[in-house]
């Protein structure tokens, strides 16, 4: 629908303002903050370090262990501290989104711990978290094939829109909102995460991926700039 207007005034393909900075947690081996508008994610990397308990060590490979959570004050209704089904799911998909760029066999018996916390949530927290975690891994000096970039494409009343905010996610007219979070290896056609919350026609998926590709190119530029800022210091 050509006349569709987003509540934020953004065009259909316009992302929220992005911000990225690395080296925000001096104690960590690598760290980064990444935001899409009011959604703010912070990530810290520790490792590779010996995995404990020892019986969990694998002499053939290291492991990537992600822990994602929302801070209690990050949402309007205070979030009860501690893990939930949602945080476990997002931790797992974040591991899957990032693992393909790492060569964990280089680090037998070890773990790379990635902690992702959401300081402020306004939808798109898993995608902001993946972007922050990818930057934090690079900042930790862990060899990576490339950065991972992540974005959500949605469908509101038959319109494809990039980077849904919470008001848009909750949109409840027409067919309601469909949310399609995607992660990919930068500068490639290798997708490392495709999730779908809602309904989408198979023939529309290609358009969704094209929009995600363009958005990921923009995210990649913001990530590279943040890494460059720290290496030039
Ligand atoms: O955050 P993301 O879009 O990746 O995942 P979601 O599970 O679809 O959550 C969408 C949004 O709901 C979050 O970004 C928060 O803004 C909000 N939310 C909330 O207000 N309280 C929660 N306990 C969980 C999510």
> 187 lies in a domain?
yes
Return the ligand 1 atom nearest residue 197 CA: 8
| pTM exceeds 0.95 for this model | yes
User: Is ligand 1 within 6 A of the CB of residue 79?
Assistant: yes
User: Is ligand 1 within 6 A of the CB of residue 166?
Assistant: yes
User: Which among 34, 69, 72, 75 is the best mutation to test ligand 1's pocket, defined by most ligand atoms within 8 Å of the CB?
Assistant: 75
Instruction: Say whether 112 sits in a helix, a strand or coil.
Output: strand
CA-proximal residue: ligand 1, atom 17 (nearest): 123
User: Is ligand 1 within 6 A of the CB of residue 94?
Assistant: no
Count of helix runs (H) and strand runs (E) in the chain: 4, 9
Q: How far apart are CA 13 and CA 141, in angstroms?
A: 33
> 111 lies in a domain?
yes
Q: What CATH number is attached to the domain comprising 137?
A: 3.30.230.70
> 13 lies in a domain?
no
> 40 lies in a domain?
yes
Rg (CA), the chain: 18
CA-proximal residue: ligand 1, atom 10 (nearest): 123
User: Is ligand 1 within 6 A of the CB of residue 29?
Assistant: no
> 4 lies in a domain?
no
> 3 lies in a domain?
no
Per-residue pLDDT of the chain (233 residues; tens, 9 = 90+): 556 789 899 999 999 999 999 999 999 999 999 999 999 999 999 999 999 999 999 999 999 999 999 999 999 999 999 999 999 999 999 999 999 999 999 999 999 999 999 999 999 999 999 999 999 999 999 999 999 999 999 998 889 999 999 999 988 766 668 999 999 999 999 999 999 999 889 999 999 999 999 999 999 999 999 999 998 77
Residue span of the structural domain in which 33 resides: 18-231
**C-alpha count within 13 angstroms, C-beta hemisphere, residue 48:** 18
DSSP letters for 51-81: -SSGGG-BTTB-EEEEEEEE-GGGSSS-PPS
Q: How far apart are CA 92 and CA 95, in angstroms?
A: 5
Angle at 68 between CA 53 and CA 75, to 5 degrees: 145
Domain count, the chain: 1
Cα-to-centroid distance, 121 and ligand 1 (Å): 7
> 118 lies in a domain?
yes
């Amino acid at each position: 629908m050509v006349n569709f207007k987003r509540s934020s005034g953004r065009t259909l393909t316009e992302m929220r303002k992005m911000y990225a900075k690395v080296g925000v947690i001096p104690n960590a081996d690598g760290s980064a903050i990444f935001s899409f508008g009011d959604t703010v994610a912070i990530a810290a990397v520790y490792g590779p370090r010996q995995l404990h308990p020892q019986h969990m060590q694998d002499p053939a490979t290291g492991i990537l262990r992600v822990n994602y959570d929302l801070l209690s004050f990050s949402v309007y209704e205070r979030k009860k501290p501690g893990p939930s089904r949602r945080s476990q799911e997002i931790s797992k998909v974040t591991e899957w989104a990032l693992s393909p760029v790492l060569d964990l066999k280089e680090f037998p018996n070890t773990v790379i711990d990635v902690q992702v916390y959401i300081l402020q949530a306004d939808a798109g927290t898993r995608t902001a978290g993946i972007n922050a975690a990818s930057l934090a891994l690079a900042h930790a000096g862990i060899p990576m094939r490339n950065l991972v970039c992540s974005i959500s494409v949605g469908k509101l009343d038959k319109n494809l829109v990039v980077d849904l905010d919470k008001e848009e996610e909750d949109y409840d007219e027409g067919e309601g909102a469909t949310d399609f979070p995607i992660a990919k290896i930068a500068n490639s056609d290798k997708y490392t995460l495709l999730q779908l919350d809602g309904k989408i026609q198979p023939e529309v998926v290609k358009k969704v991926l094209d929009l995600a590709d363009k958005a990921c190119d923009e995210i990649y530029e913001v990530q590279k700039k943040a890494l460059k800022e720290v290496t030039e210091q």
